Amino acid sequence: MTFIKPKHSLKVTTIHFKHELMKLKKLFFTGILIVAFTTAINAQQYNTAFGVRLGYDSGLTLKHFFAPASAGEFILSASPRYFQLTGLYEYQQPVPGAPNLDWYVGLGAHIGGIHYHKDRYDSAFLLGADLIGGLEYVFPRAPFNVSLDWKPSFNFTNDYNDYWYSGFALSLRYTFR
């Protein structure tokens, strides 16, 4: 005995398969959007933070989030031989599996002045570009954060030193939530 399947049954099965595939696609994209949205929301644990930067370009630091994963940071550095103001845009996201720990990267510019000979009054105007990358930990029960970063600088306006690659620093900040 031979069984012959009607042609319309194949069409119904194909339509059912396409419908199920479409449901699966919608579910997948909804899941991706939920993960992306919650990651962006968790990237920001405070609005503004102010503190000190210790290490290369020691001074004062102010960081403010203007979007969930986007922050601006200003660093004012000064010593008897130089001063510098740096402005940075930073993109920040949580480290997967590490609560309260974020990674960030950014870029910006600096302006300032340097007196580079102890015995003479030689000085130079500083203008240049900066990169930054680091890790930031926000204490969950205290209004503080700590970050460790590397911030190389490239100067465009003097012949004293065109680049500073040794820009490691530790920042300690009070957070305003």
Give the global pTM: 0.71
The pLDDT, as a whole number, for residue 19 is: 55
Q: Is 141 exposed, middle or buried (CB count within 10 Å of its CB: 0-12, 13-18, 19+)?
A: exposed
Q: Is 75 exposed, middle or buried (CB count within 10 Å of its CB: 0-12, 13-18, 19+)?
A: buried
pLDDT, one tens digit per residue, over 64-73 is: 999 999 999 9
Q: Which of 68, 67, 104 is nearest to 88 (CA)?
A: 104
Can you tell me the distance from the alpha carbon of 145 to that of 174, in angstroms, rounded to the nearest whole number?
7
Collect all residues with Cβ–Cβ distance below 8 Å to 93 and sequence separation of at least 6: 39, 43, 69, 102, 103, 104
pLDDT, one tens digit per residue, over 2-34 is: 655 555 555 555 565 565 655 555 655 555 445
The pLDDT, as a whole number, for residue 124 is: 77
3-state DSSP assignment of residue 4: coil
pLDDT along the chain (177 residues), means of 10: 56 56 55 48 78 91 96 92 93 96 97 76 82 96 96 80 78 95
Can you tell me the distance from the alpha carbon of 59 to that of 112, in angstroms, rounded to the nearest whole number?
13
The pLDDT, as a whole number, for residue 39 is: 46
Can you tell me the distance from the alpha carbon of 166 to that of 56, in angstroms, rounded to the nearest whole number?
7
Q: Which of 176, 171, 141 is nearest to 47 (CA)?
A: 176
First to last CA, the chain: 78
Count Cα neighbours of 29 within 13 Å in the Cβ-side half-sphere.
6
- Top-tier CATH class for 48-176: mainly beta
Q: Which of 98, 100, 110, 104 is nearest to 163 (CA)?
A: 110
Can you tell me the distance from the alpha carbon of 94 to that of 103, in angstroms, rounded to the nearest whole number?
6
